[in-house]
Amino acid sequence: MIRPIAILVGLGFSIVVLLAFVTGAYTWATEEAQHTAEHEFHLAPHGPEGGFEHDGPLGTWDMAQLQRGYQVYKEVCAACHSLKYVAFRDLAGLGYTEGQIKAEAASYQVPGINPDTGEATFRAGVPTDYFPSPYPNAVAAAAANNNAIPPDLSLMTKARHHGPEYVYSLLTGYGPIPDELTAQFPDFDTPAGLHFNQYFPNLNLAMAPPITADGQVTYAEGNPEPTIRQMSADVAAFLTWTAEPKMVERRQTGWPVLGFLIFATILAFFAKKQVWSSGSPRREHD
């Protein structure tokens, strides 16, 4: 008795899932696109002209760009955004020496414990520490940012579709509301405390433009001019590295592995041909 009931329950479940799938597919195929300001004027992200050095299966890190991006993060983004999954010692991957890493870590104050009283305190960072949050807690972060908590940036380019391009586009996408949008959607507006950005899904973003002028960050001699687009590209590349620091090494390992697998497949094919060949040669009869 139990087996037929189980079969019927399973069959009913399968029918419900199939109906849901068919209904959803039909709705997706026949439903008209929403005619809203967000749908009509939201732009797909794009990267800087010429793309990033790390793009493509043969891409590599541009260490100079990563260091510039870290400088932009430190001088601009770190005021609001944390990098809680990145330790100071990880900066060795950007080409910094041990002494430079110690100096960078010591320039930050990180939470600690007073060994004499046991009370919470702050101390100079060491290479094994992680980048500290600019706010003590989420409540303080929201209070300082119009009730919007700035997200951690450690994995941002992995958390967003076309992450590096999204970061670059968002940083360069602030501006006035286009006249075409106002003409087509008279009721659309950017509320007080928000900022219009066509690369943000609902067009209005709580984050004020962080990079507002060329030369906002001073690069060392020999680097490109620190324009808004250049600084945006540099910090987008840096955040790509924080999200996946071993990306280039993984690609470089993948190509030899792929070559070995192709060679092994060919070798196995000829071995199969040899082992399963058509028996011993026929004997000729007199």
Token digits of residue 199: 């690369």
According to the annotation, is 63 in a ligand binding site? no
- For residue 253, give the nearest of 57, 90, 51 by alpha carbon: 57
According to the annotation, is 77 in a ligand binding site? yes
SS3 196: strand
| E strand spans, 145-255 | 195-196, 204-205
Taking the C-alpha atoms of residue 243 and residue 221, their distance in angstroms, rounded to an integer, is 28
Token digits of residue 248: 């280039």
- Cβ atoms of residues 22 and 29 within 8 Å: no
Token digits of residue 92: 């060795």
Q: What's the one-letter identity of residue 234?
A: D
According to the annotation, is 35 in a ligand binding site? no
- For residue 181, give the nearest of 39, 44, 32 by alpha carbon: 39
- For residue 82, give the nearest of 165, 10, 138 by alpha carbon: 138
- For residue 233, give the nearest of 55, 82, 44 by alpha carbon: 55
> Residues 6 or more apart from 254 whose CB is under 8 A from it?
none
**Residues flagged as binding site for heme c:** 77, 80-81, 207
User: Residues annotated in the binding site, as ranges?
Assistant: 77, 80-81, 207
